[in-house]
């Protein structure tokens, strides 16, 4: 049984205007996505800014309330849980944010930041908590002396280590990694990625890895989904998606990624125009306007479903057989 199972997840944000603040239109940030993640695996969500990948992750953790859909964590539909039930399940589902400069409270010491989860979710004594915090610091590659320091005394990479330590503090099973390295330099990024991979193996953690960086997805995950304007365009194992991308958007996205090798000059599929707005989208495929193989009267009439094309590979496109 997969640890995380998501069915028909939707999140529509209302745009209110006028005297009575009536919702006139909706931003379809996440528009019906389904996926499942097996225990101990890393699942990647990749897409450009505004495609709804972060919103999807936040809904899966129930940090924001989805409009529609089901989210199962270890077989329990967490969207049906009351506050108390949710509180019990929280330590198992954690998050690491993109920006470690704003995700750590500047007025708390590292000892306090890492000690708080234990105070909330366990009955350990102060002494025991301190031991746990020291163990955590060591595990993420920081020193004992760091326990009394404040976040501002650390570099970006070290702060992200603290954020990771907080996420794994109390028996966590599932971590949503929201662009965890995009604010870091490449040499620092490599260290954090190594740490994340070690932790996943040591503690049998399950990751949802959200990023716009295609190389990272390829390195970090087992399965992935490509999102575009709130929809999953293509989904499958990493080997399948990278070895045999089928959706025209996936192809364009991969081809735009600059390869750090001057001998492999890109044959870019340059997409025309910008990403259209997710406000009350038109019927039909979301990619229709920028697609090279779109067919009028077919692709702009109804939304294509995500169809299994074999080998654990799913595609949402009428033109892919």
Partner 1 sequence: MSHQERDRAMDTLVSVRGLDVSFLSYRGIVRALQGINVDINYSETVGLVGETGCGKSTLGLSIARLVPPPGIIERGEIHFEGEDLLKMSKEEMRAIRREKMSMIFQDPTTSLNPVFRVGDQIAEGVMLTHEMKKEEAMARSVELLRMLGIPDPSKVARQYPHELSGGMKQRIMIAMALSYKYKLLIADEPTSSLDVTIQAQILELMTEMQKKTRMTILLITHNMGVIAQTCDRVIVMYAGNIVEVGTVHEIFKKVYHPYTQGLLAAVTLHEEEERLTTIPGSVPDLIEIPTGCPFSPRCKYREDKCEREIPKLYEIEPGHLVACYLEGEL
Interacting residues toward partner 1 by CB under 8 A: 48-49, 155, 157, 185-191, 193-194, 197, 212, 214-216, 218-219, 238, 252-253, 255-266, 268, 270-271, 273-275
Among 138, 180, 132, 130, which Cα is nearest to 159's?
Answer: 180
Least distance to partner 1 from the beta carbon of 44, Å? 13
Whole-angstrom CA distances from 196 to 5, 32, 98 are 22, 29, 14
CA dist 227 and 250 (Å) reads: 9
Dihedrals phi, psi of 255, to nearest 5 degrees: -70, -20
CA dist 116 and 245 (Å) reads: 44
- Strand pairing of 4-17 and 68-73? antiparallel
* CA–centroid distance for 301 within its chain: 30
Query: Whose Cβ is closer to partner 1: residue 4's or residue 227's?
Result: 227
Least distance to partner 1 from the beta carbon of 271, Å? 5
Residues 6+ apart with CB under 8 A from 21: none
Least distance to partner 1 from the beta carbon of 259, Å? 6
Least distance to partner 1 from the beta carbon of 266, Å? 6
Task: Identify the burial level of 115 via C-beta atoms within 10 angstroms of its C-beta, where 0-12 means exposed, 13-18 middle and 19 or more buried.
Answer: buried
Least distance to partner 1 from the beta carbon of 143, Å? 14
Cβ-contact 136, 114 below 8 angstroms: yes
CA dist 69 and 21 (Å) reads: 26
Residue the block writes with tokens 């989210």: 71
Least distance to partner 1 from the beta carbon of 91, Å? 29
Least distance to partner 1 from the beta carbon of 40, Å? 16
Residues 6+ apart with CB under 8 A from 60: 4, 6, 9, 71, 176, 208
């Amino acid at each position: 049984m997969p640890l995380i199972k998501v069915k028909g997840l939707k999140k529509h944000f209302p745009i209110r205007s006028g005297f009575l603040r009536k919702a006139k239109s909706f931003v379809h940030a996440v528009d019906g996505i389904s996926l499942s993640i097996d225990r101990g695996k890393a699942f990647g969500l990749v897409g450009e800014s505004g495609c709804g990948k972060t919103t999807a992750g936040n809904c899966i953790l129930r940090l924001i309330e989805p409009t529609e859909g089901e989210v199962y964590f270890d077989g329990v539909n967490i969207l049906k849980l009351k506050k108390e039930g949710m509180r019990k399940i929280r330590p198992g589902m954690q998050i690491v944010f993109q920006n470690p400069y704003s995700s750590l409270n500047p007025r708390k010491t590292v000892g306090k930041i890492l000690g708080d989860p234990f105070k909330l979710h366990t009955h350990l004594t102060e002494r025991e908590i301190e031991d746990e915090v020291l163990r955590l610091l060591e595990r993420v590659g920081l020193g004992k002396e760091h326990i009394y320091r404040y976040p501002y005394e650390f570099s970006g990479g070290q702060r992200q280590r603290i954020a990771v330590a907080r996420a794994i503090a109390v028996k966590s099973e599932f971590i949503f990694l929201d662009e965890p390295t995009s604010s870091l330099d490449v040499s620092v990024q490599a260290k954090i990625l190594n740490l994340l991979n070690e932790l996943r193996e040591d503690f049998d953690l399950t990751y949802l890895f959200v990023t716009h960086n295609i190389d990272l997805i390829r390195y970090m995950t087992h399965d992935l989904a490509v999102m575009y304007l709130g929809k999953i365009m293509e989904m499958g194992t990493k080997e399948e998606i990278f070895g045999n991308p089928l959706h025209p958007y996936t192809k364009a996205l991969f081809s735009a990624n600059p390869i750090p090798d001057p001998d492999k000059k890109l044959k870019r599929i340059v997409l025309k125009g910008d990403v259209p707005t997710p406000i009350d989208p038109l019927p039909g495929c979301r990619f229709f306007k920028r697609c090279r193989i779109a067919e009028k009267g077919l692709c702009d009439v109804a939304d294509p479903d995500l169809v299994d094309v074999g080998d654990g590979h799913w595609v949402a496109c009428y033109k892919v057989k």
